[in-house]
Structures are given as structure tokens and as C-alpha cells.
Amino acid sequence: MLKGLILALIVGTVFVNGWTDAPNAIACAVSTKAMDYRRAAWMAGICNLLGLLAVSVAGAAVTDTIVCLVDFGGDNRAALVALSAAMASIILFAVAAWRFGIPTSESHALIASLTGAAFALNNAPGVDKTAWARVLMGLVFSIACGYGFSWLSAKVLAAPLGRLKDKTLGRMQVLAAGGMAFMHGAQDGQKFVAVFVIAEMLAKGEYHPGPVTLRRHVGVLLLCAFTMALGTSVGGGRIVELVGERMVRLRKREGLCADLGGALCLLLATLWGIPMSTSHTKTTAMMGAAAAAGGRVDKEVVGEIMLTWLITFPVCTALGWLLTRFLLLML
């Protein structure tokens, strides 16, 4: 029963990631009318799959960081309960934020929930400081470089892009959105594959955090990619509307620069094994591109998004701790 519960909750978490996080990758292309939402969602799903499969060959640095993030201790059954609680926490938080159309970082929700769940186990030694340092580095890197790379791209490419026809810009933006979705799969897909790997080790009684070979988990890779794609196709419209229409209004050339800057930021973080938020990266990338072009950014909407980002760590840590303690009493 417990193994079935944890599997269902992990799949549900991946679905929610596609539902609430992946739409950021296609927000620019949809808001500038380069693609309609349905086509963009399916393109994002395919690119998520390709990105996740690509990192299975290139390496698993982000997966290794998440696997080593916390130590659940020696009681495998209690650890599986804690992992279940962490996944339930992510789903609750993400659905609540989606209800208000606010893009959340499922990456940070995952990290915080795992940490809270580990703290709830009395025998858990705690968290890995090196892995957590990478998490904090990713938090700063996503905001600073997401904004900076896109601002610089918009400034440098303003003249050459301004000479292109609207149709050409639209095609280029579709390619850039595909690249952004590819990197989302490479980044976020690795994190949730890591959760499957942790669950598998716990279920077999062989829990030992360490490097992971993704090619041994092809079935998990495919399951994550298809579940994420399904989530994106079902429910991301509210997120696209908030960041792509209410927060900023970009033209095709600024949307292209935002996608290029965001994708480059995610690429570097993935190569360095830094778990980074696609939501933070893409949202700040859109702000940077808009600022470079002298566009208007809705400060009220930005404030709502920033507030959600700020409360993600404490709320999800608390949820992970509380649900773990509750489930340990119930199961």
C-alpha cells in the first residue's frame, strides 16, 4: 500500500509540475501570438521529453544534487512515509498557487518539502550542506542571470531583430520557446527522476545517497517526461495569462530575447549541477527583456509573484514536517 501511495504521489507531483511550472517556458510564444496555446503545450511536452533524454546521456549532475540533499536515516518505512508527505506538500502548495494563477517554483517546493520531511524524522541526520549551497546558488543565479542575460540580449539584438519581418520573428520565437522547454525538461525532469530513484532505493532497503546513472532508469525518464507533458497540456493557461499578458506585454523580438536568455541560464545551471527554478528564471527573463525595451512591468503582479516565491521555502518546509508527523501516526 505504501509503495503504491508514494508512486501515485510522485506521478502527481510531476503532473503538477507540468501543470504549473512548464507553462512558463511557452508563455512568451503564446502571449505574442507566435503559437496558440494548444500547439505550444504539445511542443513543450515533446521538448521536455527530449531535454530529459538528452541529460540521461550527458550526465546527471542535478539529479545527484537532489539525491544527496537530505538523509532520511535508517528506517526505510518511515523514510517512505516522509517522502510521501513531501510529495503531498508540493501538490497542495502548487494547486493552491495555481488557483490564483501564480507561477510557483516546484523545484524549491520539492527541496523545501524534502527538507521538512527529513527534519520530522527523529533519526534523520539532516541535510547535506554542499547540496543546499548549490540550491541557494541557484536561487541567486536564476534571478540575476535570468534578468541580466535577457536584458543584455534585448539590448544587443534590438537593431538586427528590428529589421526582420514579423513572420520570421515568429518562427524564431517558436524555436527559442522549444529550446526553453528543452532546458526545462533537462532541469526539472532530473529533479523528479531523483525522487523516483530515492523511492526505489528505500523500497529495496538499499538507501545510500550518491551519484546516479540515468541510463539505468529509462522507464522513469519516459514516465516523467510524458506525465509532465500531459500536465502542461491540461492546465497551464492561467500561468501564461498572468506572466505573458498581465505582468508584461512583450513583442516578438523581446519574447525571443527572454527565451534565449532564460534557456542559456538554465543550460549553464544544468551543466554545473545547480538545481534552479524555471519559474524564477523565465519570469525574471521576461522582466529583463521588457526593461531593456522600455516596456511596462506591472509592479502589483510582480509583487504577488515575489511574495509566493518568498513563502515557498518556509511554507513547504512546514507542510513537509507536519504531514510527515501526521502520516507517521496514521500509517
Task: Print the domain residue range for 276.
Answer: 2-330
Q: Which amino acid is at 125?
A: P
- Rounded to 5 degrees, φ, ψ at 124 are -80, 125
b vs e for 299-327, b when ≥16 Cβ sit within 10 Å of the residue's Cβ? eebbebbeebbeebbebbbebbbebbbeb
Q: What is the pLDDT of residues 43-87, one digit of tens each?
A: 888 888 888 888 777 767 888 888 888 888 778 888 899 999 999
Alpha-carbon distances, residue 241 vs 98, 103, 199, 318 (angstroms):
12, 10, 36, 30
Average pLDDT, the chain: 86
pLDDT, tens only, 1-46 = 677 888 899 999 998 888 777 778 888 888 888 998 888 888 888 8
Number of domains forming the structure of the chain: 1
Higher pLDDT, 20 or 227: 227
**Cα-trace Rg, the chain:** 19
pLDDT score, position 235: 63
| Backbone angle region of 87, left / alpha / beta, with phi > 0 → left and psi within -120 to 50 → alpha | alpha
Residue 123 has pLDDT above 70, yes or no: no
